[in-house]
A and B are shown apart, each in its own frame.
Chain A
């Protein structure tokens, strides 16, 4: 158990809908990252927050947004969902923002868009 929690574990929804994925980092970690794993691709970095502020952005679609709250939990909002958004979404956390800090991954949220 990494200490990172994600809810829900599974989510099934229809095209055009909007969903929110939630992540709580390990106690003491200030940085949160979101990743997407689709069937045909490896882990793709979406976005990073550090202590409430956006720090880095990957190939995150405009239909997706995220934020980190004062208690350091983070939410990833996915809207106007398409079939291709079906994937496993991971949240990870690290103690700080630097590149040499280990990232601890949560169990993931499996999103199925029908």
Chain B
């Protein structure tokens, strides 16, 4: 059974703090790693898709890195704002032509003003 793990489970930070979360996944036959942002009462929103070892992606204050050899990805948020409060999900993909995603249970981020 393929298991994707995320840590920490939840995180409370102050506005302006920088923070990071970890996603661990089985590295064997790995194909792609997805990050999603999920706000309460909304649907998951795609942030990044990464495939290559050493990949780094950035969108505004949010960035992510990928290590496919050891099976982990980090998501960084610089200068957290209250609007960053959400659950951050990662999902790994092992299919070839299929796009089956295996999701972690997420990291819940709460940013206090």
Interface residues of A (CB under 8 A from B): 2, 4, 31, 33, 41-45, 48, 55-56, 58, 90, 94, 97-108
Contacts and interface: CB of A to CB of B under 8 A. Distances in A.
Contact of A99 (B44, B46, B98, B104): B98
Interface in B88-107: 89, 91, 93-106
Interface string B23-66: 00000000110101000001111100101000000000000000
A77 to B, nearest CB: 20
A58 B43 contact: no
B106 to A, nearest CB: 7
A44 B94 CA distance: 15
Contacts of A103: 34, 46, 99, 101
A33 B91 CA distance: 14
Contacts of B93: 99-100
Nearest to B106: A42
A65 B103 CA distance: 22
Identify whether the interface residues of B are mostly helix, strand, loop, or mixed: loop
B102 A45 contact: yes
B31 A102 contact: no
Contact of A101 (B45, B89, B99, B100): B99
A100 B49 contact: yes
19 contacts: A2-B43, A4-B43, A31-B99, A33-B99, A41-B105, A42-B103, A42-B105, A48-B98, A56-B99, A98-B99, A99-B99, A100-B51, A101-B49, A101-B99, A102-B46, A103-B99, A105-B44, A106-B43, A107-B42
Contacts of A33: 99, 101
A108 B51 contact: no
Contacts of B42: 107
Nearest to A106: B43
A48 B100 contact: yes
A99 B96 contact: yes
B91 to A, nearest CB: 8
Nearest to A43: B103
> For B32, B95, B100, which residue has the most chain A Cβ atoms within 10 angstroms?
B100
